Amino acid sequence: MPVSKDQYREAMARLGAAVNVITTDGPGGRAGFTASAVCSVTDTPPTLLVCANRSNDSYPAFAANGVLCVNTLTAAQQDLSPVFAGLTDHKLEARFDTAAWTTLATGAPVLTEAAVAFDCRIDQVVEVGTHDVFFCVVEAVHTGPVHEGLIYYARGYHRIVQGG
């Protein structure tokens, strides 16, 4: 018997993951979205993947720009998650007014106080169902100050304490 959409979503809610704000800037404009579907692919060359819903209002900017930054949030930055998830009244460009940003190699916005930020060039795109999987070569890395980590698990945010 095939797994239903609801059954799959309930099971995935039990898979804890880092909370990331994925950003881009370039000819297609500046945009960002919240994602937990991010993981390492290989270290030679340094490559990670990001899953992006094609119906997301920020998707066209990512497709046009060909660059992105994975900004991993700390527990202190939890409030940025709903902003970039589109769950507040902030429009695409106004979302960036809620934090301090810089840039590295690609020009994609880098969250200054992120736990870590991976500045990437999108190398390959694979279409899977409602999403595109971006395979991204890491061009630069920014590590922020050590803070409590943040994960999303069981449909809620949880703090991760270093050495705890």
Q: Name the nearest CA neighbour of 26 among 57, 60, 73.
A: 60
The list of the chain residues with pLDDT below 50 reads none
What is the C-alpha separation between 51 and 67, in angstroms, rounded? 14
Q: What is the pLDDT of residue 147?
A: 83
Q: What is the pLDDT of residue 59?
A: 96
Contact predicate 96/30, CB 8 Å: yes
Q: Name the nearest CA neighbour of 21 among 88, 64, 89, 82.
A: 82
Cα separations in angstroms, 79 against 4, 32, 55, 145, 154: 32, 15, 23, 18, 18
Domains of the chain: 5-160 (2.30.110.10)
* pTM for this predicted structure: 0.95
Dihedral of alpha carbons 114, 124, 135, 87, sign: positive
Local structure of residue 99 (DSSP, 8 states): S
What is the C-alpha separation between 107 and 102, in angstroms, rounded? 9
Q: What is the pLDDT of residue 87?
A: 86
Q: What is the pLDDT of residue 164?
A: 59
Q: What angle do CA 158, 163, 164 make, to 5 degrees?
A: 50
Encode pLDDT of 145-161 as tens digits. Answer: 878 999 999 999 999 98
